[in-house]
A and B are shown apart, each in its own frame.
Chain A
Amino acid sequence: MVLTPDALGYLPETPSQTAGPYVHIGLIPRQAGFAIFEADLGTALVTPETKGERIRVEGRIFDGTGALVRDAMVELWQADAAGRYASPADQQGGKDADPAFRGWGRTGTDFATGLWFFDTIKPGPVEGRRGHRLMAPHLSLWITARGINLGLHTRLYFGDEEARNAEDPVLNIIEQPERRKTLVARREERDGVPTYVLDIRLQGEGETVFFDI
């Protein structure tokens, strides 16, 4: 419908609805089973020109019964190797954006295995809010699926960044230290590629920390 602002000039946000089971049609058509666009957006994050250490991040998503969520969509948003975002809203001084890195990707969890993954680079640390420390290297993840009414924001931190993670201003506002661990990915070596594994639990024991940002 057509909207008019309230007395103070504000408009209420459009309400969210679930992405549904067929989110792939619109956002990952190849996974839905057909090719329509010349290029599906968000499928490749890195080109040979991209600066930084190549890594893989991966995980699975579980519901409150422990069952795999195999119809989710996961989006990734991250800074480049220098810790700068490819966005005009990043006004950090002294950091040039890597022109070969947009920092955004999307994928679906596999219909059979439930696995999601991104081949990307490890981001550098980013300035925290004023008066706060640098944020430890991290990825933003946004998760939608059938049964999820409002997309879920979470973060992935790196298990081999213990010192920086201990200083991170966001991890430190999580009151329960046990819950911080739900955001820290375990490092593995796979054929020489550092791989960070983070499973996401939507509900119950070990429930992942999700943010209202």
Chain B
Amino acid sequence: MTERRPDVNHVSEFIPRDMTAHPPSLTPVYKTSVFRSQRFPLLSLQNSLTEVTGPVFGQHELGPLDNDLFRNFAKDGDPIGERIIVHGRVLDGNARPVPGVLVEFWQANASGRYRHVNDRYEAPIDPNFGGCGRCLTDAEGRYHFRTVKPGPYPYRNRGNDWRPAHIHLSVFGTGFAQRLISQMYFEGDPLIPHDSILATIPDPAARERLVARLDLGATIPLHTLAYRWDIVLRGSRSTLFENRLEGN
């Protein structure tokens, strides 16, 4: 009799990562990568349970203002800056929504200053702005948060390097192999073509996928502008034949 023990190759393995969509490890245009990049190639590993599983988060762990950066650090008034909503969907590579996953974000204030002990930029801290938030995607994979648009920020790379306005995003999927951190940029920002960090991504079409679009349909008239940015995590494949004699 053929062995028919449960399929421990899992519900779904993730489609191998298309590394051409990502920045390589060594990108001298971004100087810090020179000493923090690998000289050995990554070792390709077929997914085991360790990679296809991942942590689960609950709404009860979040506070009611966690996705409202306009309010979640307000002490005695509103933060200064351009009020925006950022929203979109978390999808997987199969174009399916990814519900119930944690999205976290952080950013500088409207002047380009971060609330961080190591940021010494002379632009002022905004007393009413913390600069971080988080939410879970809904049943359709949607997320949204309210904030102020971050300012550009100078940093020590090449002599006169400025980051475009950007918001950092951290996303979990259903498996640890989907773990992703990236950055969102704003449509039309003239600093985008000059940015050394966005330039670490070789493919122009891939760079373009990090640029949020102005979304007038989601603005609140006389109140708040909106930008839309969809996030795509790795897709999964159904194991069609491998080790599954009983069929798919």
Tell me, in angstroms, the Cα distance from A1 to B86 when the chains sit together: 11
Q: Does B223 contact A (CB under 8 A)?
A: no
Within 8 Å CB of A102, what residues of B? 55-56
* Complex partner residue of B52 from A5, A79, A89, A131, CB under 8 angstroms: A89
Distance between A100 CB and nearest chain B CB, rounded to angstroms: 14
Q: Does A46 contact B (CB under 8 A)?
A: no
Contact call A17/B56, Cβ cutoff below 8 A: no
Q: Does B132 contact A (CB under 8 A)?
A: yes
Contact call A207/B168, Cβ cutoff below 8 A: no
Q: Does B32 contact A (CB under 8 A)?
A: yes
Q: CB within 8 Å of A: which of B2-39?
A: 5-12, 14, 16-19, 21-25, 27, 30, 32-39
Summarize A's interface: helix, strand, loop or mixed.
loop
Contact call B38/A203, Cβ cutoff below 8 A: yes
Within 8 Å CB of A89, what residues of B? 10-12, 49, 52-54, 174-175
Summarize B's interface: helix, strand, loop or mixed.
loop
Contact call A173/B45, Cβ cutoff below 8 A: yes
Within 8 Å CB of B36, what residues of A? 63-64, 69, 145-148, 202-203
Within 8 Å CB of A211, what residues of B? 42-45
The digit string for A103-117, where 1 denotes a CB below 8 A from any CB of B, is: 110000001000000
Within 8 Å CB of A135, what residues of B? 48, 50
Contact call B233/A202, Cβ cutoff below 8 A: no
Q: Does A163 contact B (CB under 8 A)?
A: no
Contact call B8/A130, Cβ cutoff below 8 A: yes
Q: How many chain A residues touch the partner (CB < 8 A)?
A: 89
Evaluate whether A77 and B42 lie within 8 angstroms (CB atoms) in the complex, with A17-B198, A145-B36 already known.
no
Contact call B179/A75, Cβ cutoff below 8 A: yes
Contact call B23/A129, Cβ cutoff below 8 A: no
Contact call B38/A36, Cβ cutoff below 8 A: no
Q: Does B224 contact A (CB under 8 A)?
A: no
Q: Does A193 contact B (CB under 8 A)?
A: no
Q: CB within 8 Å of B: which of A1-29?
A: 1-3, 5, 9-27, 29
Within 8 Å CB of B54, what residues of A? 77, 87, 89, 104
Distance between B209 CB and nearest chain A CB, rounded to angstroms: 6
Within 8 Å CB of A29, what residues of B? 130, 132
Q: Does B59 contact A (CB under 8 A)?
A: no
Within 8 Å CB of A5, what residues of B? 95
Within 8 Å CB of B191, what residues of A? none
Evaluate whether A130 and B53 lie within 8 angstroms (CB atoms) in the complex, with A13-B93, A25-B132, A26-B168 already known.
no
Tell me, in angstroms, the Cα distance from A137 to B53 when the chains sit together: 16
Contact call A91/B200, Cβ cutoff below 8 A: no
Contact call B48/A170, Cβ cutoff below 8 A: yes
Q: Besides the contacts A1-B208, A19-B181, A131-B243, what 8 more A-B pairs have beta carbons closer than 8 Å?
A: A5-B95, A17-B197, A19-B170, A85-B50, A86-B56, A152-B38, A153-B176, A209-B40
Q: Can you identify 7 A-B contacts, CB atoms within 8 angstroms?
A: A5-B95, A16-B182, A17-B183, A20-B183, A88-B56, A140-B51, A170-B45
Binding site for B on A (CB under 8 A): 1-3, 5, 9-27, 29, 32-34, 36-39, 41, 63-65, 67, 69, 71, 75, 77, 79, 85-93, 102-104, 111, 126-131, 135, 138, 140, 142, 144-153, 155, 169-170, 173-174, 179, 202-204, 207, 209-213
Which 5 pairs between the two chains have the least Cβ-Cβ distance? A26-B106, A147-B32, A87-B53, A104-B55, A147-B36
